[in-house]
Amino acid sequence: MDEQSLEPIKEVTIDFYGDEIPAALVVIDEAGQQIVYVPVRPLVEYMGLSWPAQWERINRDAVLSEMVRGVRVTRTPEQGGSQVMLCLPLDYINGFLFGINANRVKPELRDRLITYQRECYQVLAAAFLDPAAAVERLRELYRNKGYSDRWIDSRLRTISIRNELTEEWRQRGVEKDAEFAVLTAVISKGTFGVTPSEHKQLKGLKRQNLRDHMTNEELVFTMLGELATTRIARRDDAQGFDENQDAAQEGGELAGDARKKFETQTGAPVLSNRNFLEQPEAQDGLPLGKSADKLDSGEEDV
């Protein structure tokens, strides 16, 4: 690999079923050739695989080892800020992904790997060819999995609102991944009375993305809590972690008050143990099961 890192002219973060995948467009020669590079390690970690093992596999491959380059990626909220990341050209991502034998990974990781192999390249390519096409592609993927259009509309709005909030946090001095997780947990606790880890436990989830298993009502109040937090941070010109934590608490409590009023008026709780694995979102009238107050506290996650 060439030791000189490449500087991007454009960067995007792609939401892929809740995983935030960074990618960068780079001009690499005097003729103006443009290549999209994708950091490999986030893909590996999102799939639950070992990065050292996959990096060794890249180095053994005659083609991939020649194509890997270091690219300075400045928008990596889950990685803590600007850094040089080992990347492959987008055109080689499928080669990397399909080089992983799904039959040799742990059973609990197999479905996630196959999803990446089948869909990741298409979503990344669409984002650079046409951002609107990327949104429509993600909509199509959710629809093919059986989600209703109503749920998909809410899920796509949560992505937009979440991106706005995390960008606001970065601009206000919140960069560390642990700080993102804590602030997210504060909003969730104020909104639902449970942290994301407790929410996942309620739904019986492990490695799955929580928001892909929320009901439409849960998505709506998640959006409200994060949107309120963004607006409050701007109103107060919150700077640094502590001030943004105060904004997150106020935003979560605002959404929590709205949730309680909604529950009083409708006569039904918002927080639910429904998950798409066992109870498809399109089904109505499903039982709620155990209540949140019986959960054990767990490690926070987004």
Is the pLDDT at 3 greater than 80? The verdict is no
**Is the CB of residue 15 less than 8 Å from the CB of residue 46?**
no
Is the pLDDT at 288 greater than 90? The verdict is no
Is the pLDDT at 150 greater than 80? The verdict is yes
What length is written for the chain?
Answer: 302
Is the pLDDT at 49 greater than 80? The verdict is yes
Is the pLDDT at 282 greater than 60? The verdict is no
pLDDT band at 128 (very low <50, low <70, confident <90, very high): confident
End-to-end Cα separation, the chain, in angstroms: 34
296 or 153: whose pLDDT is higher? 153
Q: What is the predicted pLDDT for the residue at 180?
A: 85
Share of the chain above pLDDT 90, in %: 41
Q: What count of Cα atoms within 13 Å lies in the side-chain half-sphere of residue 31?
A: 2
Q: In this structure, which amino acid lies at residue 17? A: Y
Give residue-wise pLDDT tens across range 267-276: 999 999 988 8
Distance CA 271, CA 259 (A): 9
Is the pLDDT at 253 greater than 80? The verdict is yes
pLDDT band at 104 (very low <50, low <70, confident <90, very high): confident
Kindly state the average pLDDT of the residues 218-232.
96
Rg (CA), the chain: 20
Q: What is the predicted pLDDT for the residue at 28?
A: 60
Query: In sequence order, what are the residues at sequence separation of 6 or more whose Cβ sits closer than 8 angstroms to the Cβ of residue 93?
Result: 38, 43, 120, 121, 124
Is the pLDDT at 287 greater than 50? The verdict is no
Is the pLDDT at 115 greater than 70? The verdict is yes
Q: What is the predicted pLDDT for the residue at 181?
A: 86
Distance CA 151, CA 37 (A): 32
Q: What is the predicted pLDDT for the residue at 290?
A: 33
**Is the CB of residue 92 less than 8 Å from the CB of residue 63?**
yes
What is the strand order of the sheet 34-39 is part of? Answer: 8-16, 19-27, 34-39, 83-89, 69-73
Is the pLDDT at 30 greater than 80? The verdict is no
Q: For the chain, where are the E strands, in sequence order? A: 8-16, 19-27, 34-39, 69-73, 83-89
Distance CA 241, CA 269 (A): 32
Instruction: Name the token pair of 100.
Output: 């992983």
Q: What is the predicted pLDDT for the residue at 119?
A: 87
pLDDT band at 229 (very low <50, low <70, confident <90, very high): very high
Q: What is the predicted pLDDT for the residue at 240?
A: 94
Kindly state the average pLDDT of the residues 44-65.
92
Q: CA 206, 207, 210 angle in degrees (round to 5)?
A: 80
Kindly state the average pLDDT of the residues 125-148.
79
Kindly state the average pLDDT of the residues 120-142.
79
Mean pLDDT of the chain: 82
pLDDT band at 281 (very low <50, low <70, confident <90, very high): low
Give residue-wise pLDDT tens across range 76-101: 444 455 678 899 998 899 999 999 99
- Residue 100 three-state SS: coil
Q: What is the predicted pLDDT for the residue at 73?
A: 76
Q: What is the residue whose two structure tokens read 């991007």? A: 8
Q: What is the predicted pLDDT for the residue at 279?
A: 66
Distances from the Cα of 219 to the Cαs of 158, 159, 279, 300, in angstroms?
7, 10, 16, 18
Poorest-confidence range of 1-15, 41-55, 164-178? Answer: 1-15
Domain definitions of the chain by residue range = 8-142, 146-294
Q: CA 121, 125, 128 angle in degrees (round to 5)?
A: 150
119 DSSP 8-state letter: I
